[in-house]
């Protein structure tokens, strides 16, 4: 295929994507007052949660499949280019402080590597080979999950990641913002959130990016809830690595136990600042080492450990 016919082909493809559609009624948006542009943009954004709501069944099925694998020691790997890749890296980087996940348990791969977080790496998104190499560097197994993320649903890097992961027996999820996408078709779990044409034609960091952020938040958060990383709606696996988090740790123990401050301080001191362990020592009236053993036997699920302690 000559490069001109290839370019023409790509152009024809883009014309059929909802995310790339041109909206003539907005063609004079630059002449509007700033407050009016802000109102229009905000109105556009309100449609995003509703678009996500349409796909909750698929999202929940994907979460259950991810949790089953992660419970066996598998990893959650996001793969995308540009905005989609950055959102994956963002979500992955926030899991250790929130849920005390081990480094490498949730991974964000971005086409072009770390420098692509801050600059655009030309051509990286067009390479399925690059995705395969990035996944091979992780030594992927069948217990891992790979989530390809792409607004258009046709980015070679995201599709390549999903196809390679699936061939290795890993769980695959394809998150796109157009229906009938090659990405969703390539994955075992296809999630297509249709957010429609953007305010600025083809600027998928807007509504499509917001939708991806919401879905990735759901995938990681609900998976962590399923894995026992929370107790009710409390972040009991939080790692106290700074003053704010130490204060939050004390507050979480207080909310979970209702114990007085001096007892909370003593419990945290006895369990080396581990919130989950501290709660267990207070609620089950056991010492630190016993709390650690009960939690280990319960795979870290605090409710199960409490039930066992009260046995």
Asked if 94 is an active-site residue, the reply is yes
Selecting among 125, 163, 192, 198, the annotated active-site residue is 125
Asked if 54 is an active-site residue, the reply is no
CA distances, 278 to each of 146, 219, 267, 269 (Å): 34, 28, 5, 8
Residues contacting residue 193 through CB under 8 Å, at least 6 positions apart: 51, 52, 54, 55, 175, 176, 177, 208, 211, 212, 215
Calpha distance 239→223 (Å, rounded) = 18
Question: Token digits for 279?
Answer: 């709660």
User: In this structure, what are the phi and psi dihedrals at residue 110, rounded to the nearest 5 degrees?
Assistant: -120, 135
Pairing of strands 76-80, 145-150: parallel
In whole angstroms, how large is the CA radius of gyration of the chain? 23
Calpha distance 290→309 (Å, rounded) = 9
Helix, strand or coil, per DSSP, at residue 236: coil
Q: For residues 265 and 289, is the Cβ–Cβ distance under 8 A? A: no
Tally the C-alpha atoms within 13 A of residue 237's C-alpha that lie toward its C-beta: 23
Residues contacting residue 71 through CB under 8 Å, at least 6 positions apart: 227, 299
Question: Token digits for 231?
Answer: 């107790």
What are the catalytic residues?
A: 94, 125
């Amino acid at each position: 295929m000559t490069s001109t016919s290839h370019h023409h082909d790509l152009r024809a493809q883009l014309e059929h994507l909802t995310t790339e559609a041109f909206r003539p009624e907005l063609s004079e948006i630059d002449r509007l007052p700033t407050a009016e542009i802000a109102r229009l943009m905000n109105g556009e954004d309100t449609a995003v949660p509703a678009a996500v709501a349409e796909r909750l069944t698929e999202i929940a099925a994907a979460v259950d499949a991810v949790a089953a694998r992660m419970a066996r020691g598998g990893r959650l790997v996001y793969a995308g280019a540009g905005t989609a890749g950055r959102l994956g890296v963002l979500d992955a980087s926030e899991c250790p402080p929130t849920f005390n996940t081990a480094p490498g348990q949730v991974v964000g791969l971005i086409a072009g590597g770390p420098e692509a977080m801050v600059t655009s790496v030309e051509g990286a998104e067009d390479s399925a080979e690059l995705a395969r190499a990035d996944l091979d560097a992780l030594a992927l197994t069948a217990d891992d999950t790979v989530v390809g993320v792409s607004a258009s649903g046709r980015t070679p890097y995201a599709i390549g990641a999903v196809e390679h992961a699936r061939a290795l027996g890993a769980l695959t999820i394809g998150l796109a913002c157009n229906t009938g996408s090659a990405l969703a078709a390539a994955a075992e779990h296809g999630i297509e959130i249709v957010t429609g044409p953007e305010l600025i034609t083809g600027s998928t960091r807007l509504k499509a990016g917001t939708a991806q952020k919401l879905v990735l938040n759901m995938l990681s958060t609900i998976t962590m809830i399923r894995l026992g990383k929370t107790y009710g709606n409390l972040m009991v696996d939080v790692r106290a690595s700074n003053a704010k988090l130490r204060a939050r740790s004390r507050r979480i123990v207080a909310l979970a136990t209702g114990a007085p401050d001096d007892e909370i301080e003593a419990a945290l001191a006895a369990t080396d600042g581990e919130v989950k362990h501290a709660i267990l020592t207070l609620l089950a009236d056991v010492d630190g080492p016993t709390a650690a053993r009960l939690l280990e036997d319960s795979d870290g699920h605090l409710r199960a450990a409490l039930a066992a302690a009260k046995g």
